Amino acid sequence: MLTRRFASLAALALAVGLAAPLAAAAAAAEAEPAVAALERQLAALSFELDQVRKAVDDVFWFQRLGDVAEVDKVTFVGPPNPRGEATFGIANERHPFKVHQYVFVPKGLDRGRKHPLLVLPHGGVHGDFTTYYVHIVRELVALGYVVVAPEYRGSTGYGRGFYEAIDYGGLEVDDVVAGRDWAVEMLPFIDGSRVGILGWSHGGMIALLALFDHPDKFQAGYAGVPVSDLIQRLGYHDSSYLALFSADYHIGKAPVDDVAEYRRRSPVWNVQKLTRPLLVHSTTNDRDVHVVEVESLIAALRAADKDFSHKIYDDAPGGHSFNRIDTALARESRREIYAFLGRHLKR
């Protein structure tokens, strides 16, 4: 009798033990749609918060530069989004992609004369042009430049569709060039033969590619701590960086799957196209764009027998941001940049 009782208890325990995981699995399966819906809502909220942050920072542009510049924000178009969805039978090629751009015109500018233009693309994968750059724009405006800063596709602050339209090293460069073209066409006081481009990090990469591919549109360029070789870059960054680039809405594959595509988007493999004056800066303690990338760019430019200027600082305070911050070294470095641009754009 006792043996049968123990056997019954054992069977009950086994049944309960088997039932618990089954019940948990059933509950998890039932909860999956709710969890997925919550994740979608959180993602949507994240994009909405980015748009709020962008709107607030836009107000600061007017407040912080309004004393020296006429500040505006315009919208123009770049190439169509090849991954966009056709609606009402309107194919993508019939629907150019809308791009936003900041415009800074020095107050009191003599609009009866022609003036040089500087194009300033921001950095960061999914970054945006924020008041982080306000002191730099102030310095450029004080030198008499009209400045435009395109918010190319993939920038943050304009919703999911704009964010996922990113085309790193591809159509985003075309957006920036379109920003230059908008200014030359729409601002009658711009001298289209005196246009420069400058940028840092990802913006430095865009400056390089634009200068390489459009020497008819840019007379000089500056690239600070520029992303130079995506294959090399993904080799020394962690796996999260690779995941970002290989996402379906991004390049969609890793370098191992398409080396040629990553080379096409990397300045170091396109240096043979350079025909305009170029200045490059980097620092040995950059923990974002490792100096090895910029050293490879310099070596490639030298091998291609290109005429350019460069300087690699030794452990400059600030690392990746060393000449964008407010230190004596940063100001000295920027003066070198402005002198270089002035030699080629001022008359």
Lowest mean pLDDT among 31-35, 258-262, 335-339: 31-35
Cα–Cα distance, 262 to 182 (Å, whole number): 29
Q: Which residues pair with 199 in a beta bridge?
A: 223
Amino acid at residue number 222: Y
Averaged pLDDT of the chain: 92
Determine the pLDDT at residue 138: 98
Confidence band, pLDDT 50/70/90 cuts, at residue 16: low
> What mean pLDDT do residues 247-271 have?
95
Through-space distance between the first and last CA atoms of the chain, rounded to whole angstroms: 109
- Of the CA atoms within 13 Å of residue 50, those in its CB half-sphere come to 19
Query: What is the reported pLDDT for 3?
Result: 58
**71-130 residue pLDDT tens:** 999 999 999 999 888 889 898 889 999 999 999 999 999 999 999 999 999 999 999 999
Among 328, 177, 207, 332, which residue's Cα sits nearest to residue 277?
207
CATH of 52-229+266-345, one of 3.40.50.1820, 3.40.50.10860, 1.10.3720.10, 3.30.450.40: 3.40.50.1820
Query: Average of pLDDT values for 50-78?
Result: 97
Give residue 8's pLDDT. Answer: 61
Nearest to 276 by CA among 185, 206, 338, 341: 341
Question: Which pLDDT value is given to residue 92?
Answer: 87
Q: Minimal CA–CA distance to 146: which of 169, 180, 170, 178?
A: 180
| pLDDT tens per residue across span 307-325 | 999 999 999 999 999 999 9
Instruction: Reply yes or no on whether the pLDDT at 4 is more than 90.
Output: no
Is there a contact between 81 and 249 (Cβ–Cβ < 8 Å)? Answer: no
pLDDT at 23: 62
Per-residue pLDDT at 35: 72
Of 219, 190, 210, residue with least CA distance to 343 = 219
pLDDT digit string (tens) for 222-248?
A: 999 999 999 999 999 999 989 989 999
Domain chopping of the chain, boundaries: 52-229+266-345
Surface-to-core class of residue 132, CB atoms within 10 Å of its CB (0-12 exposed, 13-18 middle, 19+ buried)? middle
Q: What is the pTM of this model?
A: 0.89
In 3D, which of 268, 259, 272 has the Cα closest to residue 289?
268
CB 27 within 8 A of CB 19: no
